[in-house]
Structure 1
Amino acid sequence: MTDKWDKTFAESQKVDHRKVSFPNRYGITLVGDLYLPKDRGDRKLAAIAVSGPLAR
């Protein structure tokens, strides 16, 4: 994984971005992007998780 901006859209100065990864129940490492508003403070935030199909 790289911290270099690799998206087709412009990087926003209002959003923190980082790469995340975790193993799923099959032992496959899943990788994604986490976006958080810079002004989030300590409040709880809603989340949207998007995934493609897993062909097994």
Structure 2
Amino acid sequence: MDRDSPTPRYEAYEAAVVSDDGRSTECTIFPRDVDDERRTTAWITAREEAYCSAATMR
């Protein structure tokens, strides 16, 4: 074990799920405490047809 390695830093994330009049559902995940410089680049969005259950991937 390398004791000189920096301690890992974990961020807290939030998710927002938005449904567009029944056509598509999107889930956006973003850091809870993101600073203004990263606010427009520190997120990921997936449409309903692009993700699956974690249980099906095991």
| TM-score for both structures, normalised by structure 1 | 0.34
Q: Which has the higher helix share?
A: 2
Bigger Rg, structure 1 or 2: 2
- Give the alignment's TM-score, normalised by structure 2: 0.33
